[in-house]
Structure 1
């Protein structure tokens, strides 16, 4: 489930980013979200039941639910044209949980790559909160962030893991630099967005 689920999560986030950028049909993307969301809710339930029930096993598998219910919630919201405030506030809750996972990855597991990855996911969920919970008009900005994360945090790590390369020292070091570069890029497009907003307000 781990690598395969990660790979399909990358596909879902990639499609969501295209939708936010105005390149993919909303209802079409909603259907794929439902497929992936259902898989990432049903499978973890089975894996937890069949697991050794240790706290860290359940802790690891429970993280999949964060993605599964997000995709289900996104899919239903888009397909049924629902008010997005509930999804927005749920995203804020998940963002907080993601920060906790980042903290545990750093302190307990001493895993820098996982720490940076969870921080990126926390940032993306927080952006969904701003968009739907606070009604901020930042869809294109979120689309750019989601596009980067779909490849950097999901698709490529899944492929590298399945080929046995993910835990090599060279890949780990490279991914730390790639992650830092992604944060720099997010900061850059944030500044551009703020400048554009200030310019619009000035001439409004």
Structure 2
């Protein structure tokens, strides 16, 4: 995923977290979902056209998972479609994200992005529970986790990548610290809302951030 694309993914995740929390409406969140969704379809298509090895294909192909999610959210807002289809697609995204996480960690030795992909796997699984299985009591937890995920896995890494400050996988100490920090923040983001009673109901017009 390009650094610029990752940065804007952070924006849409934060916005859709606010959507799940009832701060913004589905129609209010639709334009950014459509803009970023379009970006996340155009960019991998361009990368795949130029791809000449399996590594390049691997880098580009998973981006469609998020592009399709954001476009689906935006179209759902305009058309008032049933959210369950998007919820079940989110389960597919979640399982795929686990596989990509394992590949990043085991094959590429990229600890930070292995953890980042795990964030996305958990978040999309929460989308599946909320939208696919209509588990409304998890809406607020999912909204808060989407906001945290948008900040720590997309907006901040995207900005640091743009300015060349994100640690390379070969930079062992910095990469290890980043991996540990990401894991701790993710665990806290899942556990603290539950401990503080943040699993209450959110408005029905909720949708993923992707």
TM-score (norm 1): 0.89
Q: Contact 1:31–1:79 (CA<8 Å) still a contact in 2?
A: no
Alignment of 1:179 onto 2:182 = yes
What's the counterpart of residue 206 of structure 2? none
Matches within 5 A, 1:1-204: 2-52=2-52, 54-137=53-136, 138-167=138-167, 169=171, 171-185=174-188, 186-193=190-197
Per-residue Cα deviation, 1:21-76 (whole angstroms, up to 9, x for no partner): 11112202012101110111122112211222x11100111111111011011111
Structure 1 residue runs without a partner (length 5+): 198-204
Q: Which has the higher contact order (CA 8 A, sep 6+)?
A: 2
Could you list the runs of 4 or more consecutive aligned residues of structure 1 that deviate by over 6 angstroms after TM superposition?
A: 194-197
What's the counterpart of residue 200 of structure 1? none
Structure 2 residue runs without a partner (length 5+): 202-210
* 3-state SS of 1:139 partner: helix
**Cα distance in 2 for residues equivalent to 1:37 and 1:194:** 29
* 3-state SS of 1:22 partner: coil
**Cα distance in 2 for residues equivalent to 1:153 and 1:127:** 16
Per-residue Cα deviation, 1:132-184 (whole angstroms, up to 9, x for no partner): 11000122111100010001000000111111110264653442232122232
**Cα distance in 2 for residues equivalent to 1:80 and 1:97:** 27
* 3-state SS of 1:119 partner: helix
**Cα distance in 2 for residues equivalent to 1:18 and 1:89:** 21
Q: Contact 2:33–2:70 (CA<8 Å) still a contact in 1?
A: yes
Structure showing greater Rg: 1
193 and 92 in structure 1: CA distance in 2 versus 1, 3 angstrom threshold: farther
Tell me how far 1:191 sits from its aligned partner. Answer: 4.7
Question: How large is the Cα RMSD of the aligned pairs?
Answer: 2.0
